Amino acid sequence: MRLSSLVLLGGAFAAPAVAGSVTITIPRLNVAEYHRPYVA
């Protein structure tokens, strides 16, 4: 049971690698953190 689940997991990770690699780059924005205004 354990071996078959490892084989299935390995196949699930190997299939996208065969299709090609896709890289997504998220740019880092240099902005100040947002702080909610203090309301008494």
Q: Tell me the mean pLDDT in the region 5-20.
A: 58
Q: What is the domain partition of the chain in residue ranges?
A: 1-40
Does pTM surpass 0.75?
no
pLDDT of residue 15: 54
Q: Tell me the mean pLDDT in the region 20-36.
A: 83
Question: At 22, which amino acid appears?
Answer: V
Burial class for 8, CB neighbours closer than 10 Å (0-12, 13-18, 19+) = exposed
pLDDT of residue 9: 59
Residue 14 clears pLDDT 60, i.e. is over it: no
